[in-house]
Amino acid sequence: MHLRYPMMSAWLGLLILAACIPESDHPLSDPSCAKPDSRLLGTWVGMNSDGDGPIWLHFAEGEKSMTEIVLVCPEPKRGIDTSFYVMHPTAAGSHSFMNVRSTIPKSLLSLKVQEDLKYPKPGGYLICKYEISSEGILKISVLTDAIAQEIQDGKLKGQVKKDRFSTEVLIRESSENLLRFIEKEDHEQFFDLFLVCRKADERLPLEGGLHNMR
């Protein structure tokens, strides 16, 4: 998967472009059976694990029970960078996961920007773990290349490609087997916290509509 990385605050982009985050051929669960997590819907504002921000995340229910994500990152003196994703959640016991793919909005497809590197064609799945605290804080962790050793040891199907600068990890395991592996009690070692946010206030400025301004 190729996600863009605006400044130091982009969600997952730098790690992915550096080929440090595994990409899976399959999600943890069947998207056709997915139901949006209503707790996520709305607008969130936060920062990455390095304290860079603000990062704005907009979650909205899309077609076929998918959740659409719009990522907005202000870039000092460069304007605003926007990225688009689709996601469906997977619940596994007390844990919640996101199966994320990059996407191109229909409005941009009509402009024939598929070959624009800013909006790459959808690739595989990025697996994230998330939790929402009782205080309403959303924490998103990403699956890291620590899982490469499990592939090399034959515990998971996949490929590991290394060079001087990066490690590319491709997971070829089926959804059922990958979920079974992730559900193991020690799965925490394969995830790193990347993003922390809170729900933004989405109340409209005027009750009853614009006619109240007249």
Q: Where are the domains of the chain?
A: 13-213
pLDDT at position 111 is 58
The CATH number of the structural domain formed by 13-213 is 2.40.128
pLDDT band of residue 117 (cuts 50, 70, 90) is very low
pLDDT at position 213 is 57
Residue corresponding to tokens 């998330």: 130
Integer Cα distance of 37 and 175 in angstroms: 20
Write the pLDDT tens digit of every residue in 68-81: 999 888 877 778 88
Write the pLDDT tens digit of every residue in 19-65: 468 999 999 999 999 899 999 999 999 998 888 888 899 999 998 88
Integer Cα distance of 132 and 96 in angstroms: 9
